[in-house]
Amino acid sequence: MDERLLLIEDDASIREIVSIGLKAAGFRVVTAVDGQQGLASARSGGFDAVILDVMLPSLDGFEVCREIRKFSRIPVVMLTARTDLIDVVVGLESGADDYVKKPFELPELTARLRAVLRRAASPAAGEDSLIAVGRLQIDPACFTVRRDGAELTLTATEFRLLVELAKRPGQVFTRELLLQRVWDYEYLGESHLVDVAIQRLRAKVEDDPSRPVLIKTVRGVGYRLDRTGA
Amino acid sequence: MRRRLVVAFVLVAAVSAGVLAVASYLLVQQARLQGSLSASSAQAREDLNLAATITYPLASDFVNAYEQRGTHAVLVFPGGLRVPSDTEVNPPIPAELVDVVHQGQLGYQRVHVAGQPYLILGGKVPQSAAQLYLFFSEQDIQHALDQLRNTLVGGWLSVLLVAALIGNALARRTLGPVARASEAARLIADGRLDTRLPAGDGDEFGAWAAAFNEMADALEAKIAALSAAQARELRFTANVAHELRTPLTALVAAASLLSEQARHLPDEARRPVELVTADVGRLRVLVDELMEISRLDAGSEPVQHSAADVHSIVTALIGARGWQDKVVVDDQPLTLITDPRRIERILANLLENAIEHSGHDVRVRIAALGTHASIAVADGGPGIPPEQLPLIFERFYKADSARASAGSGLGLAIALENARLLGGDISVSSDVRSGSVFRLTLPMEPSGDVSKR
């Protein structure tokens, strides 16, 4: 285990102690002190995941994440200083795979990182056969989704979420079940992770994301994939 | 006030005009009657002398001549023989007058004959035993006096009307500024601090309005300064909490690394590491609570309503915190429309507080009271002295300074703010023998304005 991580954090103390902790946990860490520098490093490539502070000088974390998503589906974990729900939601909407609230203990951060890395390494564990749902062709082995033959760019989290739903079309998945299966979360209460990821997935696979026909909301319960849709 | 002023004004006018009118009437009446009497007396003396020349057989003609002038006349002869000018009317002669005439004087009396006013003058006919009584009609005088009276009453009524109108106008003019001032005071009390009175003329009301406006200026400035200070204080708290968070993040991360390594450290370093880790934990709780209370103060805490069973929230909470052998919950399901996350937050604070004080024997009672739910957390602890009860919801207030290390001192304040955010409240009662009861009351359903927040 020597994944390379890019840590983008402006506060020197946090940057240093998190680097030490992550290195002690077996990662290789490259640091950047602001958004511009971080984005440049991310562009140069060679990283397995990005740890991204929200409050950054020059270019804030949301912007950096949106820029990264334009060229890469590398897992991104946000460090949100504010506990406001809106920050979490904006972070996830800008394409982050997960978030950790400041202050955090290092074991919590490493656990989250390992979870996103696992997802990225094997986006749909144990699934090799092609899945066809409506106009979608999902190839878990090659980590690709085609819609009417055109390839869609999905992040690891979105891909895993889609595969999870598509494996059992028609079945209703609760948010808790999806958190467990897709995010490897044992605890409850982070259901906006699921809701935001579903929104992002719909934006990519639905004709009209505000009136979804493929990924349906089951009010008060969760979501299901409708095989007749798409 | 206005009506009383008008009534008083009219009353004064009525009395003065009334006295004036009555006095004038009486004066005129007396003058007219006196005039009539002296004219009639002169006439009567002349007629008595004339009557002295008349002998009995011509008496009838004599009195009849009076009738021509509209004056009744009656000749009374000794023995009671009466010769009236008008036999039909034959007016009675009052006995008192007859007595006066018997004494040889000229007498008079005013009577009504057939509804008409008459002045009777009577006297002895000279050189005769006969008496002559003349009835002079005072119809004209009465008429004139009646007219005068009607005019005076009419005038009096007009004076009353004018007085009422003037009084009303004066009262309005006088009391208008008072009404405006009380309206302005009411608006200021309602929070419209920019309300001012129109600057009046140079009179007392003008001075009063100026003083009122000065007071309102001072009040507005004071309140603006106070709310600015309060806003500054709120921002300061939020900023402090926020600024603390960055170094705290480094501290928490460092402490978590240190505590992993603690067992490899020599004894003299391990204990300090444990202390640092524990204190970083306390600092973290304090900063979290400061952030939370500053968000509550700023009104930026969102409320997400859904149906929630209080009993399940409490049992889940007790299970998650491992308080099963310390807390007993009534088996009473009760579903509310509220924010379950906040109820959990409030009850966690109340239960933590109760366990801290009594260690165990904490009891939760859930009850529906009409439109409200009541959730009581009772402990068997030492209780709170009555003088400290009003203070325990104050921020950073700690009832027992010896126990100052436990909790941030914000727990109950946060619980109360959260309860109010849900449209509820927390009350406390305590007895030094039986312990304390914290009672959370919440509406069964959010009211209109609470759900908007």
**Region for B70 from its dihedrals, namely left if φ exceeds 0, alpha if ψ lies in -120 to 50, beta otherwise:** left
Q: Quick check: is B411 in a domain?
A: yes
Please state the three-class secondary structure of chain A as a single string. CCCEEEEECCCHHHHHHHHHHHHHCCCEEEEECCHHHHHHHHHHCCCCEEEEECCCCCCCHHHHHHHHHHHCCCCEEEEECCCCHHHHHHHHHCCCCEEEECCCCHHHHHHHHHHHHHHHHCCCCCCCCCEEECCEEEECCCCEEEECCEEECCCHHHHHHHHHHHHCCCCCEEHHHHHHHHHCCCCCCCHHHHHHHHHHHHHHHCCCCCCCCCEEEECCCEEEECCCCC
Q: What is the CATH number of the domain that holds B58?
A: 3.30.450.20
| Per-residue pLDDT at B149 | 93
Closest listed residue to residue B292, CA positions, set A107, A101, A109, A96: A101
Question: Quick one: closest CA in A to B307, which residue?
Answer: A220
Name residue A138's beta-bridge partners: A131, A145
* Residue B342 and residue B228 in one domain: no
Domain final position from B297, B322, B345: B297
Q: Quick check: is B416 in a domain?
A: yes
Q: What is the CATH number of the domain that holds B220?
A: 1.10.287
Measured between alpha carbons, how far is A29 from B449 in angstroms, rounded to an integer? 51
Q: Quick check: is B61 in a domain?
A: yes
- Cβ atoms B443, B372 nearer than 8 A: yes
- Cβ pair A105:B253 closer than 8 A: yes
Helices A106-121/A175-183 angle, 10° precision: 80
A13–chain B Cβ distance below 8 A for any pair:
yes
Domains of chain A, earliest start first: 4-121 (3.40.50.2300), 131-225 (1.10.10.10)
Measured between alpha carbons, how far is B346 from B413 in angstroms, rounded to an integer? 10
Q: How many CB atoms lie within 10 A of CB B214?
A: 11
| Per-residue pLDDT at B402 | 46
A83–chain B Cβ distance below 8 A for any pair:
yes
* Residue B285 and residue B260 in one domain: yes
Q: For chain A, report the end-to-end CA distance as a whole number of angstroms.
A: 40
For every one of its 230 residues, what pLDDT tens digit does chain A have, with 9 covering 90 and above?
Answer: 689 999 999 999 999 999 999 999 999 999 999 999 999 999 998 899 999 998 888 888 999 999 998 898 899 999 986 566 677 778 888 888 888 888 899 998 998 899 888 888 765 556 667 888 878 888 887 788 888 888 888 888 888 888 888 888 888 998 888 888 888 776 555 667 888 889 888 988 888 888 888 888 887 778 988 877 54
- Cβ atoms B67, B61 nearer than 8 A: no
pTM of the predicted model, to two decimals?
0.62
Chain B residues with CB inside 8 Å of A107's CB? 256, 260
* Residue B286 and residue B314 in one domain: no
Rounded to 10 degrees, what is the CA torsion of B245, B249, B255, B261? 180
Q: Is B453 helix (H, G, I), strand (E, B) or coil?
A: coil
CB nearest to A106's CB, from B242, B245, B256: B256
* Residue B153 and residue B228 in one domain: no
Closest listed residue to residue B377, CA positions, set B363, B366, B389, B390: B363
Q: Phi and psi (nearest 5°) for B436?
A: -115, 150
Q: List all residues 6 or more positions away from B40 whose beta carbon is below 8 Å from its beta carbon.
A: B108, B119, B121, B134, B136
Q: Is B70 helix (H, G, I), strand (E, B) or coil?
A: coil
Closest listed residue to residue B234, CA positions, set B186, B287, B297, B185: B297
Chain B residues with CB inside 8 Å of A14's CB? 246, 249-250, 253
Measured between alpha carbons, how far is B87 from B238 in angstroms, rounded to an integer? 120
Measured between alpha carbons, how far is B421 from B444 in angstroms, rounded to an integer? 14
Q: Is B111 helix (H, G, I), strand (E, B) or coil?
A: strand
User: Looking at the 3D structure of chain B, how many domains does it have?
Assistant: 3
A151–chain B Cβ distance below 8 A for any pair:
no
* Residue B426 and residue B355 in one domain: yes
Q: Phi and psi (nearest 5°) for B193?
A: -75, -10
Q: Which amino acid is at A195?
A: D
* Residue B285 and residue B308 in one domain: no
* Residue B268 and residue B213 in one domain: yes
Domain final position from B242, B269, B297: B297
Chain A residues with CB inside 8 Å of B312's CB? none
Q: Quick check: is B97 in a domain?
A: yes
Q: Quick check: is B319 in a domain?
A: yes
A30–chain B Cβ distance below 8 A for any pair:
no
- Cβ pair B256:A83 closer than 8 A: no
Measured between alpha carbons, how far is A62 from A64 in angstroms, rounded to an integer? 5
* Residue B265 and residue B328 in one domain: no
For every one of its 453 residues, what pLDDT tens digit does chain B have, with 9 covering 90 and above?
Answer: 778 888 888 899 999 999 999 999 999 999 999 998 998 888 888 888 888 877 767 777 777 888 777 788 888 887 777 888 777 777 788 888 888 888 888 888 888 887 888 888 888 888 877 888 888 888 888 899 999 999 999 999 999 999 999 988 888 887 887 888 888 889 988 888 888 888 767 777 788 888 888 988 998 999 999 999 988 888 888 888 878 888 999 999 999 999 888 888 888 888 899 999 999 998 988 888 888 888 888 887 778 788 888 898 898 888 888 888 888 888 888 888 888 888 988 999 999 888 888 777 899 999 988 889 999 999 888 888 888 888 888 888 876 654 444 567 888 899 999 999 999 999 999 887 788 899 999 998 887 654 443
Q: Is B131 helix (H, G, I), strand (E, B) or coil?
A: strand
* Residue B311 and residue B403 in one domain: yes
* Residue B38 and residue B145 in one domain: yes
Q: Quick check: is B194 in a domain?
A: no
The B-side interface with A (CB below 8 A) comprises: 242, 245-257, 260, 284, 287, 291, 295, 300, 302
Q: List all residues 6 or more positions away from B191 whose beta carbon is below 8 Å from its beta carbon.
A: none
Q: Quick check: is B408 in a domain?
A: yes
Q: Residue length, chain A?
A: 230
* Residue B351 and residue B395 in one domain: yes
Helices A106-121/B204-261 angle, 10° precision: 70
- Cβ pair B253:A14 closer than 8 A: yes
- Cβ atoms B161, B84 nearer than 8 A: no
- Cβ atoms B130, B51 nearer than 8 A: yes
- Cβ atoms A30, A8 nearer than 8 A: no
Q: What is the CATH number of the domain that holds B332?
A: 3.30.565.10
Q: Residue length, chain B?
A: 453
Domain final position from B297, B324, B349: B297
* Residue B233 and residue B263 in one domain: yes
- Cβ pair A17:B257 closer than 8 A: yes
- Burial, B191: exposed, middle or buried (Cβ in 10 Å; 0-12, 13-18, 19+)? exposed
Q: Quick check: is B188 in a domain?
A: no
- Cβ atoms B134, B120 nearer than 8 A: yes
| Per-residue pLDDT at B218 | 92
Q: Please state whether beta strands A131-133 and A136-139 pair in parallel, antiparallel, or not at all (unpaired).
A: antiparallel
- Cβ pair A103:B284 closer than 8 A: yes
For B291, the domain range is 205-297
CB nearest to A107's CB, from B246, B247, B256: B256
Shortest distance between the Cα of B254 and any Cα of chain A, in A, equals 6
Q: Phi and psi (nearest 5°) for A98?
A: -160, 170
